[in-house]
Structure 1
């Protein structure tokens, strides 16, 4: 994770969601329970939720690494959810949020980013990342910032 100034002179936090050493990434090795199953990483959960077929989901969930889970999730199969494009952001948000609630140190790491804009630094992904020209949707960064806002609201309600 690195801070770089944006066009307005503010510092943005650039990160890679596939970096296993980045606690805010989808490959970080923090398991959590969701959908009645324990998922090794957010990447496993996200890729598994692409499928309606339990056997396919289990293959993804039991993959040795987040990279292998991603590879299995990218295989187009007849059991791919028809509504995947409509629900993928919600699925990612649920995975990140539940992981943060399961591992308070991850919630703290996210809250410690303050109001900094979080950017998924991907040259090739224009949906989840910022893309090569920085004009991508940065949906992953937005998911993290939305979860951060929710955690902040919950903390304020407790105080």
Structure 2
């Protein structure tokens, strides 16, 4: 049996773990269409770009708008981005279906198999930091201990 679960593409069995998966949630007085919308918007909290990202149609659009440097991102972003990601994940995984899916991964290592992102995923060479996978495993542990 596999000791890890990889997720990234829409046809992956565990795609719902992805920030692009279409599971919305309420947080801080706003409705977020996807985790990607929330995360990218938080780079621009209190600006028009925040609203633009929150209201855009797809997670791909949210990512593109969030990665644009036409507008400056918040100066503390590198210090707060992981806490923001975890906060959003906690809200996304309040959804009973998603919570069950995450808890059902047991003790397996969760790997965001993104060939593009070597911070949140493993990158093209598979040696990236996989921070999204690590945060999901931390959240899974939290959820298990709160049962």
**TM-based fold match above 0.5:** yes
Matched with 2:21 is 28
Matched with 1:8 is none
User: Cα–Cα, structure 1 residues 50 and 27, in superposed 2: closer, same or farther, change >3 Å?
Assistant: same
Q: 2:38 aligns with which of 42, 45, 49?
A: 45
How far is the alpha carbon of 1:29 from its aligned partner? 1.1
| Alignment root-mean-square deviation, CA | 1.8
- Residues 26 and 41 in structure 1, CA contact (< 8 A), matched pair in contact too: yes
Q: 2:119 aligns with which of 115, 127, 151?
A: 127
Matched with 1:66 is 59
Rounded Cα–Cα distance in structure 2 between residues aligned with 1:50 and 1:77: 13
Q: Which runs of 4+ in 1 moved over 2 A?
A: 18-21, 131-134
SS at match of 1:130: coil
Rounded Cα–Cα distance in structure 2 between residues aligned with 1:93 and 1:117: 17
- Unaligned 5+ residue runs, structure 2? none
Rounded Cα–Cα distance in structure 1 between residues aligned with 2:24 and 2:127: 32
How far is the alpha carbon of 1:20 from its aligned partner? 8.4
Q: How does 1:91-106 map to 2 (within 5 A)?
A: 91-101=84-94, 103-106=95-98
Structure 1 residues 76-116: Cα deviation after superposition (integer angstroms, max 9, x where no partner): 14441111111111111111111111x11101000000000
The normalised TM-score by structure 2 is 0.91
SS at match of 1:23: helix
Matched with 2:140 is 148
Matched with 1:82 is 75
How many residues are matched?
Answer: 145
Rounded Cα–Cα distance in structure 2 between residues aligned with 1:56 and 1:125: 23
Matched with 1:19 is 10
Rounded Cα–Cα distance in structure 2 between residues aligned with 1:20 and 1:53: 36
- Unaligned 5+ residue runs, structure 1? 6-10
- Residues 20 and 27 in structure 1, CA contact (< 8 A), matched pair in contact too: no
